[in-house]
Structures are given as structure tokens and as C-alpha cells.
Amino acid sequence: MTDHSHDPQQPWTFSPDAAHGGAHGPAACPPPPARPPAGPVAHGVRRAKRPVALVLAVAVLAAAVGGGAATVLDRVTGQETAVTSAGVPINGTPVASGNQGTVAGVAAAVLPSTVEIRADTTAGGSTGSGVIITSDGEIITNNHVISGADTVSVRLSDGRVLTADVVGTDPGKDLALIKARGAKGLTAATLGESGKLAVGEQVVAIGSPEGLSNTVTSGIVSALHRDVTIAEQPGREQRQNDRWPFEFGGQQFNGDTGDRTTTYQAIQTDASLNPGNSGGALINMRGEIIGINSAMYSPAGASGAAGSVGLGFAIPSDTVTSVLGDLRAGER
């Protein structure tokens, strides 16, 4: 597939008040071809366990209204419930012994295992991130990154672009497995055990925010077992019929994201996540993947711009390992 370059732009904004008549704060959506008019100002900080608006961290490059693979998260609560999933770690490249415990060491070990993903439809395209888990090209990402795509391609850390096929998806857990065609000798990451994480532990995030490949940020685990509720991905026909409740180029479409929702437990981090980080890696200081970045809370300012405010969310690696067999079997 032909490579496409992306110019970072200001993200779109979405107001649930306009779309649903509710009182939630505005959520941010990724960038359109042109900057939209000023959006609403975000509400104040919510109390614990109150719903807040979130947005999936996927960068949409829409050629027409309705394009791209993005959807809005409904809420995240403070409820804490034990995660019982357990999976066998997949062993990849470890952090060099001299660099263990450093952001630079983690980045050097895991950057070769991260990819930028482009998903294209007749209406437009979107970019996200992914993590290589086998040397022959198996890649874990978010379902919302590739959902409804006609074609999928991946850009490796060395700049090569390969066509990829969707192997299996789990919309309920917002996970997908794709495989790069003709890949061999790739650097695979190590899937760690998220159940061993502790609040306050340092982590590193790698992805392609705003199409900027190989971006590294760092932070800590802010909380564990956050219940994140999302509206399940609408069908392709719905997107192509202007049913997305976002602002595209200043035009408001008060569509419906559907009644079906799904909830998964997430790792909360203050590592900077922005549109395009979806599907990327959240990594511990041993270089193990302990989460797949999926969402961020990003209130819109007076200018309509939005970005990371230190509230990011990742799907635990234990969840990934628990469903990996089903994804490989082609579950949809």
C-alpha cells in the first residue's frame, strides 16, 4: 500500500450536550482536514466515581464526513474489581541490562516492536498504533483502530510499509489481531503480567500520536481496575450515512452511537496519550508490555483544541493474553 504522510492538526471536539442533551463534559476527537470553530469549554473536575467523557486515542484523517474508525467512550468510574485473567507471557526483546530501569533503555528495546497502523475506507482513513508480538508479523491493536476498514497497512519502526490482514477481533474488549503480509524476522515485544502492577509504578508509552511515529512518553500507573464504558462500534453503513455525533469541519451531526455499550477494566496512567496512541504499548521498566493504550480524557478548551491532560487508559496485558487464542482462531 502506498504510504501516506500526515500533518498534525488540532483535534476535533464533540459535545455530548449537543448530541444527546446530557450534562457530561465535552470529549475530544482527532483532527479533521480543517480546524473547526471554537468548541465548548469543559466542565470542572468531576468527583470520584462520577462519569467523565473520554475519547478513544485514534487519529482520524477523514476525506469525507463519516470517515475514519473512531468512537466516543461513555464513562470511567472509580470502582475497583479484581482482575482474574491470567496468560502466559510472550517473550520478546528484553531491556539491555545496563539500561534497565531507564526510559531510554525501555524505548530502545520496544521501539522496534511498535508500528503505526493506517486503516482506510472509501470515506477516509484513520491512524493508530500497534505492538508486534511475533517475528512473522502478528500485531495487537485496538478494535476501534481497524474496525470497518477496507484496507489496513502498517509502518514499521524502520520506515517499511506492509499490507496487513485482520485475523480476529473482540469488540467487547476493544482488541484486534492483525498480521503483516510477508513479514519475517521482526522484533517481537514481551507481553508481561499486568496483574503484578502497583499504583505508582513507572511506565512508558510508545505510539504514533497525530501520525508522529515512534513517539515515547513516560509517567506512572495512576490507578488500577478502572471501569471504562464505551459505545460499541457502529456499522460501516452508519458511519457513511453521517451518523457520527462529531463536528467535521464545523458541521454538526447529532447522530447516535448506538445503544449497545461494553465495559472493560483499564489501567489509568498519566503518561501523555494523544490521538493516534490507540493500540500502542504501555510498558513497565523491564521492557514488558503491560497494557494496550486505548483512551484518554481530554476536555476541549475555548479554542476547540484538545490534548492530553494526564488521564490515559490502557487495556491490561492479562486481558490480551486471555483472548489471544480466540483472536488467532479468527473470532469476530
Show which residues are catalytic: 144, 174, 278
Can you tell me the distance from the alpha carbon of 108 to that of 67, in angstroms, rounded to the nearest whole number? Answer: 35
252 close to 137: Cβ distance less than 8 angstroms: no
Indicate the residue type of 291.
G
Alpha-carbon dihedral angle through residues 314, 295, 328, 67, given to the nearest 10 degrees: -170
* DSSP per-residue string spanning 51-75: ---EEE--EEEESSTT-SS--EEEE
Q: Contact at 8 Å (CB) between 242 and 65?
A: yes
Distance CA 130, CA 163 (A): 14
Residue with cell 457520527: 244
Distant-in-sequence, close-in-space partners of 184: CB < 8 Å, separation ≥ 6: 135, 136, 137
As to burial, measured by CB atoms within 10 angstroms (0-12 exposed, 13-18 middle, 19+ buried), residue 211 is buried
Copy the grid coordinates of residue 107.
524505548
Closest among 95, 74, 24, 28 to 261, alpha carbons compared: 74
